[in-house]
């Protein structure tokens, strides 16, 4: 029986997972998404054309690959249907788990209202309803994709839910739809999505029994994990490799090679601690050159230097076998580059990531920069200083860099 390989982001998301999944997926039979919702955004450039994916796995750009949205994903039907409209002939190569939970309009409205009420203590969510959808799932009051197949019963159950929570919804200013309005909307979802709703766990198990090659992709990054990230400024799901098992119905023994996606610097969207953030000229340069604006929201990302302490922590959590180092070309032209190799924390020097980063000060190591690596496809052709930077990342984190991206284009990639 074959094992499934896994792609996982090991920073605060936005590491460039989409390009790597797209590039590697041509060697696989199935590509599967295990968690998150349409708050995620994978940007892929192919022959100068930009594709922005939010729910659909990145393997969709290859017509011979089966793509699966697993049970751990929260699915917004409207967003998914709009995204599906970009592609033709999805029948037979795209499936949605009937166990995945629904993320509906009221979830987004609750999300946005709660963020407004928090004021300057807001988490900085995308407002897409991800947290409220997962909250309903955990409190056992949620509804699953399979329920779309009976829109009459689902609309009745949702109206009953709304009535039970009327005081809460009224306090947040969330408008409750009429039963007829809700039924019509859910019926349209059924019509569009019914051919793709399936027991995806059985599809995966059958594929493994047949020794098909399977690639798993998560959403966001390790430091946004609900348990192991920088809580409470995190997402609402498990973004680490273990989450791929629960989010798709696989055992830990089913996981094969784990590739950690690592940006050559660090970015973060929303609020929360960010020890290596650079609020000056260097951070601005990374943002503009790297086009660091959210695929989903368009928000500017906070930028800073590579945090090797956090990366080492994330790599251990995920059991990372090797790195794909992304956006190395964004650091072209810097006179020097920095890596955070340790923290100063409560008067001590530490080499691990504590549960609270608010009192952490980064300790940097400075290396000489390089002119340009943009578009290079052979490791030997890289400038010596770029090779030194890569080697230092490996030394500080204990993981080898096996893939290096030198531009957004699929083909501008070095395999070591």
Q: Is 14 known to sit in a ligand binding site?
A: yes
Catalytic residue check, 341:
no
Residue 323: beta bridge partners?
260, 401
**Helices (H) and strands (E) in the chain — how many of each?**
12, 20
Rounded to whole angstroms, the Cα distance separating 342 from 339 reads: 9
| Residue 17 assigned as binding residue | yes
Q: Is 220 annotated as a binding residue?
A: yes
CA distances from 351 to 219, 321, 341 (A): 27, 21, 7
**Which SS3 state, helix, strand or coil, does residue 34 take?**
coil
Instruction: Tell me: is residue 15 an annotated ligand-binding position.
Output: yes
The verdict on whether residue 300 carries a ligand-binding annotation is yes
Known binder of ligand: residue 40?
yes
297 is in an annotated binding site: yes
Distance CA 25, CA 45 (A): 15
Q: Is 127 annotated as a binding residue?
A: no
CA-CA distance, 224 to 217, in Å (whole number)? 15
126 a known binding residue? yes
200 is in an annotated binding site: no
Distance CA 94, CA 193 (A): 10
Residue 35 assigned to a binding site: no
Beta bridge partners of 336: 368
318 is in an annotated binding site: no
Q: Which helix (H) or strand (E) holds 203?
A: helix 200-209
| Measured distance CA(296)–CA(323) in Å, rounded | 25
DSSP state of 314: H
Beta carbons within 8 Å of 236's beta carbon, 6+ residues apart = 130, 131, 133, 134, 135, 226
Strand-pairing partners, residue 131, are: none
Structure-token pair, residue 270: 């929303």
Q: Which two tokens stand for residue 395?
A: 């030394």
Cis peptide upstream of residue 219 (ω within 30 degrees of 0): no
Single out the catalytic residue among 38, 128, 137, 143.
Answer: 137
Active site residue 106: no
| Residues 7, 262: Cα–Cα separation, whole Å | 11
Set 14, 136, 278, 307: catalytic member: 14
Q: What is the DSSP pairing of strand 322-326 with strand 42-46?
A: unpaired
- Tell whether residue 328 is among the known ligand binding residues: yes
DSSP 8-state code for residue 310? H
Beta-strand runs (E) in 134-201:
197-198
Check whether 43 is labelled as a binding-site residue: yes
The response to whether 140 counts as a known ligand-binding position is yes
User: Which of the residues 38, 42, 107, 341 is marked catalytic?
Assistant: 42
According to the annotation, is 18 in a ligand binding site?
yes
Q: What angle do CA 218, 211, 57 make, to 5 degrees?
A: 25
Q: Is 235 annotated as a binding residue?
A: yes
Is 125 marked as binding a ligand? no
Neighbouring residues of 203: CB distance < 8 A, sequence distance ≥ 6: 66, 68, 95
42 annotated to bind ligand = yes
The verdict on whether residue 392 carries a ligand-binding annotation is: no
Active site residue 136: no
Q: Is 160 within any annotated ligand binding site?
A: no
The full length of the chain comes to: 416
Tell me whether residue 301 is annotated as binding.
Answer: yes
Gap between the Cα atoms of 314 and 21, Å rounded: 19
Is 329 a known ligand-binding residue? yes
Q: Which residues are annotated as a binding site for GTP?
A: 13-19, 41-43, 301, 327-329, 405-407
Which residue numbers belong to the known binding site for substrate? Answer: 295-301
Binding site as annotated, residues for IMP: 14-17, 39-42, 126, 140, 220, 235, 299
Catalytic residues: 14, 42, 137
Residues annotated in the binding site, as ranges? 13-19, 39-43, 126, 140, 220, 235, 295-301, 327-329, 405-407
- Known binding-site residue numbers for Mg(2+): 14, 41
């Amino acid at each position: 029986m074959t094992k499934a390989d896994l792609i996982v982001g090991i920073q605060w998301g936005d590491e460039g997972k989409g390009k790597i999944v797209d590039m590697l997926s041509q060697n696989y039979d199935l590509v599967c998404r295990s968690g998150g919702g349409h708050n995620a955004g994978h940007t892929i450039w192919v022959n100068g054309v930009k594709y922005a994916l939010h729910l659909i796995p990145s393997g969709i750009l290859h017509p011979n690959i089966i793509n699966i949205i697993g049970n751990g994903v929260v699915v917004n039907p409207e967003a998914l249907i709009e995204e599906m409209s970009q592609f033709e002939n999805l029948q037979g190569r795209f499936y949605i788990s009937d166990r995945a939970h629904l993320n509906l309009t009221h979830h987004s409205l609750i999300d946005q209202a709660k963020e407004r009420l928090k004021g300057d203590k807001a988490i900085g969510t995308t407002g897409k309803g991800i947290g409220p959808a997962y909250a309903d799932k955990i409190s056992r009051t949620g509804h699953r994709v399979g329920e779309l197949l009976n829109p009459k019963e689902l609309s009745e159950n949702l109206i009953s839910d709304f009535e039970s929570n009327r005081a809460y919804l009224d306090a947040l200013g969330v408008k409750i739809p009429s039963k007829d309005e809700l039924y019509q909307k859910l019926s349209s979802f059924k019509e569009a999505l019914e051919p793709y709703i399936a027991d995806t766990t059985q599809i995966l198990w059958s594929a493994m029994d047949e020794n098909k090659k399977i690639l798993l992709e998560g959403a966001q990054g390790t430091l946004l994990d609900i348990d192991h990230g920088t809580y409470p400024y995190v997402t609402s799901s498990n973004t680490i490799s273990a989450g791929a098992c629960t989010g798709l119905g696989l055992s830990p023994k089913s996981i094969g090679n784990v590739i950690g996606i690592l940006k050559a610097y660090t970015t973060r969207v929303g609020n929360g601690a960010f020890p290596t953030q650079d609020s000056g000229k260097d951070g601005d340069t990374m943002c503009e050159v790297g086009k660091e604006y959210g695929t989903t929201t368009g928000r500017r990302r906070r930028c800073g230097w590579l945090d090797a302490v956090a990366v080492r922590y994330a790599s251990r959590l995920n059991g990372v076998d090797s790195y794909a180092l992304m956006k190395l070309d964004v650091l072209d032209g810097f006179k020097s580059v920095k890596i955070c190799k340790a923290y100063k924390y409560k008067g001590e020097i530490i080499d691990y990531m504590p549960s609270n980063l608010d009192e952490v000060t980064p300790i940097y190591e400075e290396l000489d920069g390089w002119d340009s690596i943009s578009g290079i496809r052979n490791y030997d052709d890289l400038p010596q200083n770029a090779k030194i930077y890569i080697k230092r990342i490996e030394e500080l984190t204990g993981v080898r860099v096996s893939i290096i991206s030198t531009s957004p284009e699929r083909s501008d990639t070095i395999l070591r």
